[in-house]
Structure 1
């Protein structure tokens, strides 16, 4: 659209010499604005790359903590084995001292008393080692149990999201090739719908076909109450001109209205807990492709429904380890 306006202005400047200087200045200003917007998008892209790197660091940190817990569990197992061996040695020593005591009793009563004193000391040491062994065993069992619970909980969450993705893919199969995709990313499920399926240009009213797709998503969400749902609206970088449907200030405003329209349709499903729904407008600042082509702009104009498992239980268990 901006290129078409610029081309029209150039043609007008060639045919109307009396206003050519003013038109040229306008074109200069528009070019500067476009350059500024391009720089802003580049900055935004840098921020997104930084966020992605931070998410990778967080994931590596969790994996490191899990490896640390496994190492601690293995150390406790090693300590348990060493202590048990020590206990067996003490028992053997105890048996040997007991035999020596019986033999010495016949030969020397004083020597027998000394051996009995040594035997008593060994018994105390044996009791202390047994108590330590029991404590190590109990700590090992508790740590192993919590670690197993954590691993199972993480595996269950992953299985839940995989199953959710499969269920959504089956429910939305009729919309394949119509601008709708379902995929797993970073432990979350993303349902992406291009605007051609949902909205007319410049509108935030959902069409009949798009409403049908959103309601199918709602049916699946109604069966999964422990899923947080973020609905993001995205636009291309074409500027809002004139008055659209009662007034839209900019792409932020339009993307937010479109995200809210999807939330309103999902809210009609009584099985969905409304506190799990969040609407967000991203405007033009998270494009999937370059806005330099019509195809890229079409891909960027979209709604993304991001499904995230609730991690409260996992966080609580991590704090207890």
Structure 2
């Protein structure tokens, strides 16, 4: 009975106290509760984000660990190869030194050859100037002087040198040959070749069978004039026939009928120029 009275008294006190809580206080508690719930929700979102970031970090860590294991596995191989690389580097340095020395020698040779070619070109220029000086009127289309690949060419049309189908040198052409002889006689370090060229019209007359025969006979006729009438040393000359096979024009047959004097340094003279270039202090610096 006493316990029941006590319980009822406490219950009544609680109800009395509850009824005493003001509406304002209740609202404050409600707001506080709402704020707590919002903080909990925000913390939950951040927690989930951290969980995802941790999963990504764990995966990245595993990848790095795998890479680290791979690097460790290969590290010893690299260390073992270092000794071999050292040996190879020493041999490579030795080979490089030899290659550089070889390049220096080749460069020196090239410079010496260039010097010889320059000397040859200077001599050719002097030869061309001499020929132009003695031949005078170079506007004459029957005489052409040119330099090709280090060789001087004097081309004389057959209209000036020969009658049609003939290999007898015309009288007026001997004057031209005499002037050429004057130049070559003053250039003893040169040899030259007299080339006969014809057109493509078939030729056969007397003992001559074709254009080969005609081109050779014209070349030998010029050589004889140079030797017998102008004293050119025959050891310096070559007579050659080229027939119809090196034309200079596909439309003008007259231009193809020509005699060409090819003037070039003696081979031994050209080698001498190279040897002189090798001795030149400017080359051997």
* Conserved 8 A contact 1:219-1:269: no
* Conserved 8 A contact 1:218-1:269: no
* Conserved 8 A contact 1:69-1:147: no
Residue of structure 2 equivalent to 1:197: 160
Using a 3 Å threshold, how does the CA distance of structure 1 residues 276 and 313 change in structure 2: closer, same or farther? Answer: closer
Give the CA deviation at 1:313.
5.0
* Conserved 8 A contact 2:178-2:230: no
Using a 3 Å threshold, how does the CA distance of structure 1 residues 247 and 170 change in structure 2: closer, same or farther? Answer: same
Using a 3 Å threshold, how does the CA distance of structure 1 residues 201 and 154 change in structure 2: closer, same or farther? Answer: same
Residue 264 (structure 2) pairs with residue 301 (structure 1) = no
Give the CA deviation at 1:73.
5.6
Superposition RMSD in Å: 3.0
* Conserved 8 A contact 1:175-1:213: no
Q: What stretches of structure 1 of length at least 5 have no aligned partner? A: 1-67, 76-142
* 2:268 pairs with one of 303, 307, 312: 312
Identify which of structures 1 and 2 has the higher relative contact order when contacts are C-alpha pairs closer than 8 Å and 6+ apart: 2
Distance 2:106 2:155 in 1: 44
Aligned pairs for 1:78-89 within 5 A: none
Residue 221 (structure 2) pairs with residue 265 (structure 1) = no
Using a 3 Å threshold, how does the CA distance of structure 1 residues 74 and 204 change in structure 2: closer, same or farther? Answer: closer
Distance 1:278 1:198 in 2: 18
Q: What stretches of structure 2 of length at least 5 have no aligned partner? A: 1-99, 279-285
Give the CA deviation at 1:174.
3.3
Residue of structure 1 equivalent to 2:131: 168
Residue of structure 1 equivalent to 2:193: 230
Residue of structure 1 equivalent to 2:184: 221
Deviation string, structure 1 residues 261-284 (Cα, Å, up to 9, x no partner): 110111136653211100000111
Return the TM-score normalized by structure 1: 0.50
Distance 1:178 1:149 in 2: 39
Distance 1:153 1:276 in 2: 22
* Conserved 8 A contact 1:236-1:287: yes
Q: Which has the higher helix share?
A: 1
Residue of structure 2 equivalent to 1:19: none
Distance 1:161 1:70 in 2: 33
Residue of structure 1 equivalent to 2:246: 286
Return the TM-score normalized by structure 2: 0.55
Residue of structure 1 equivalent to 2:67: none
